[in-house]
Amino acid sequence: MIRVEGLTKQFGDLQVLRGIDCTVKASEVVCVIGPSGSGKSTFLRCLNGLEEASGGQVLVHGVSVHQPRTDVDALRSEIGMVFQRFNLFPHMTVLENIMLAPLKVRRLGLAQARGRATVLLEKVGLIDKIDAYPNQLSGGQQQRVAIARALAMQPRIMLFDEPTSSLDPEMVGEVLAVMRALAGEGMTMVVVTHEMGFAREVANRVIFIDQGVIVEEGDPAVIFSSPAQERTRAFLGKVL
Ligand code: ADP
Ligand code: MG
């Protein structure tokens, strides 16, 4: 589904990604962990072309993301992204937030877009908030709407960048539950997270990034209990 080869990224003199190689198969859940500033968000943003690569390449279903001829908008509509901040449109209701892209980008009819939104709101447990505005919702509810909004485009891949990091602790569980259900349905997911419990339980594979390189990757059971690299051990020692 995703193949990353020799990906490098620099901002001016700052070398953020120093040669990343990895693949993500269909229906795989890959959790990316690592210290703050190690390049996790930049890596994720390179996967859907939100960030230009400095070198190397990213292939999504065989399509090279950073080729000038690639239709990045079309590609991005196949890849849903959920951010730390929920980024809902404040002047639109929950329903309008979810229907917007399917109407504008997918050219769905009103009834069809509404039907799809309703199904998704049932799924994330927020059908009773269909006509609410974002500021009437808790952080956890807003993030679940953001996930529903991304799913409304029927993406083949979902990218999550620390989706629970700005939530109050009591709301983390409800968002992780939605993500766990999505993983259970076979969605291909790349999740940057500090939720080690989630990574251990849901990920098929964990990637530890430090200073712009993949230091170690593998089965969560192995990474969390007996990491091979000293840097991984040191990091896990601080967060576990
Ligand atoms: P992480 O998500 O692991 O915390 P990031 O990918 O956000 O790390 O950032 C990695 C490094 O790249 C940081 O030093 C950050 O300041 C820098 N960086 C990220 N985005 C930009 C940008 N648009 N311009 C300049 N520097 C950036
Ligand atoms: Mg980040």
Q: Are 115 and 91 in contact (CB under 8 A)?
A: no
For residue 135 and ligand 1, the question of a CB distance below 6 A is answered with no
Residues 6+ away with beta carbon under 8 Å from 175: 140, 143, 144, 147, 163, 164, 167
CA separation for the pair 17, 140 (Å, rounded):
31
For residue 13 and ligand 1, the question of a CB distance below 6 A is answered with no
Q: Which atom, in ligand 1's list, is nearest to the CA of 44?
A: 6
CA separation for the pair 233, 42 (Å, rounded):
23
Biggest CA pair distance of the chain = 55
Q: Which atom, in ligand 1's list, is nearest to the CA of 212?
A: 10
Residue 86 pLDDT class (50, 70, 90 cuts) = confident
Q: Which residue is closest in CA terms to ligand 1's atom 27?
A: 11
pTM over 0.95: yes
For residue 38 and ligand 1, the question of a CB distance below 6 A is answered with yes
Residues 6+ away with beta carbon under 8 Å from 228: 216
Summarised one tens digit per residue, pLDDT across range 202-233 is 999 999 999 999 999 999 999 999 999 999 99
Looking at residue 128, the DSSP 8-state letter turns out to be: G
Q: Are 144 and 124 in contact (CB under 8 A)?
A: yes
For residue 212 and ligand 1, the question of a CB distance below 6 A is answered with no
Q: How far is the CA of 116 from the centre of ligand 1 (A)?
A: 36
Q: Which residue is closest in CA terms to ligand 1's atom 23?
A: 11
The answer on pLDDT for 162 being more than 90 is: yes
ipTM attached to this prediction: 0.98
Question: Ligand 1, residues 7, 9, 10, 14: which to mutate, most atoms within 8 A of Cβ?
Answer: 14
| Nearest ligand to the C-alpha atom of residue 36 | 1
The answer on pLDDT for 99 being more than 90 is: yes
Q: How far is the CA of 209 from the centre of ligand 2 (A)?
A: 11
Exposure string (b/e) for 47-81, b if CB count within 10 Å is 16 or more?
Answer: bbbbbebeebebbbeeebbbeeeeeeeebbbebbb
Summarised one tens digit per residue, pLDDT across range 165-209 is 999 999 999 999 999 999 999 999 999 999 999 999 999 999 999
> What order of strands is seen across the sheet that includes strand 14-24?
14-24, 2-11, 55-60, 63-64
Q: Are 9 and 17 in contact (CB under 8 A)?
A: yes
Instruction: Give the burial class of 210: count Cβ atoms within 10 A of its Cβ; 0-12 exposed, 13-18 middle, 19 or more buried.
Output: buried
Residue 73 pLDDT class (50, 70, 90 cuts) = confident
For residue 115 and ligand 1, the question of a CB distance below 6 A is answered with no
Question: Ligand 1, residues 16, 32, 165, 239: which to mutate, most atoms within 8 A of Cβ?
Answer: 16
* H helix or E strand, kind and range, residue 63: strand 63-64
Do the strands 205-210 and 29-33 form a parallel or antiparallel pair, or are they unpaired? parallel
Q: How far is the CA of 22 from the centre of ligand 1 (A)?
A: 20
Residue 93 pLDDT class (50, 70, 90 cuts) = very high
